[in-house]
Structure 1
Amino acid sequence: MADAVDNPVVRLTLELSLQVMEFVEELEKQRRFILAQQVLRSATSIGASVREAQHAESRADFIHKCKIAAKEAEETDYWLLLCEKAPNYPSPPPQVLDTQQQVRRLLARIILTSKANG
């Protein structure tokens, strides 16, 4: 797992996935199964796409995979916002929201830099 230690975006997306897994347990305790599955799927997909990008076949492939991760991050934002705004749903912990924003900013920077250097 050297990638997770050495690469900030890989490390951060793994951290986000683990944080979301904990939050999903709280959603499931409150029997909010559908939303729990949505947020878990989209949040863990971010890290999966980032890991896949690490072995991209070209710069264009790398950028494409990072854009997929960015789209999943946007979807995750939506599900977390629903939890935050919906009455009778637990709000995501501030740490989850903070890590999510860090991931979004980092992915945007990676995509812009990769495009500029191509």
Structure 2
Amino acid sequence: MNTESRTFDLEDRLIDFALKVDEIVEKLPNTKLANHLASQVVRSSTAPALNYGETQSAESQRDFIHKMQIILKELRETRVTLKIILRKPLLPCDSVDSVLKQNEELIAIFAKSIKTAKSRLS
């Protein structure tokens, strides 16, 4: 598999993740907490896909790493929000668990990519 197809696979995965989070958001009850979390998680779960496009035109290795770190930050924020939704509980666990698992996988991918990119800095 070449680098370009992996790039688009990851982009598609980030888009699919954002859409899965949206499915959760649409099921949340109409409460102050749920509405606040919904607004927050919509932003943090869509930001990785939107920012990923920017990594493709990074101006330097350091710029690439910075953009990847922003994606990682947003994924971690999404993870915390999903955990709050589970702990409250605002939705049944089975509605959120698979998305939380996808979130953890994406965090691992981006953390590893950042580590690799940093190791290549001269």
Q: TM-score, normalized by length of structure 1?
A: 0.86
- State whether residues 82 and 96 of structure 2, in contact with CA within 8 Å, keep that contact through their aligned partners in structure 1: no
- Is 2:117 the counterpart of 1:114? yes
User: Which residue in 2 is equivalent to 1:97?
Assistant: 100
Structure 1 residue 43, shift from structure 2 partner: 0.7
Question: After the TM superposition, which segments of 4 or more aligned residues of structure 1 sit over 6 Å from their partners?
Answer: none
User: Which residue in 1 is equivalent to 2:18?
Assistant: 17
State the Cα deviation string for residues 15-71 of structure 1 (Å, max 9, x = none): 2111111111111xx112211111111111121122211111111100000001111
Structure 2: distance between partners of 1:12 and 1:99: 9
Structure 1: distance between partners of 2:58 and 2:100: 28
Structure 1: distance between partners of 2:65 and 2:24: 30
User: Which residue in 1 is equivalent to 2:70?
Assistant: 68
Question: Counterpart of 1:72 in 2: which secondary structure?
Answer: helix
- State whether residues 9 and 106 of structure 1, in contact with CA within 8 Å, keep that contact through their aligned partners in structure 2: no
- Which consecutive unaligned segments of at least 5 residues does structure 1 have? none
- Report the number of matched residues: 113
Structure 1: distance between partners of 2:35 and 2:117: 38
Structure 1 residue 5, shift from structure 2 partner: 5.7
User: Which residue in 2 is equivalent to 1:81?
Assistant: 83
CA RMSD of aligned residues (A): 1.9
Percent identity between the two aligned chains: 32
State the Cα deviation string for residues 70-106 of structure 1 (Å, max 9, x = none): 111111111111001014x114522211110111000
- State whether residues 86 and 96 of structure 2, in contact with CA within 8 Å, keep that contact through their aligned partners in structure 1: no
Which has the larger Rg? 2
- Which consecutive unaligned segments of at least 5 residues does structure 2 have? none
- Is 2:38 the counterpart of 1:36? yes
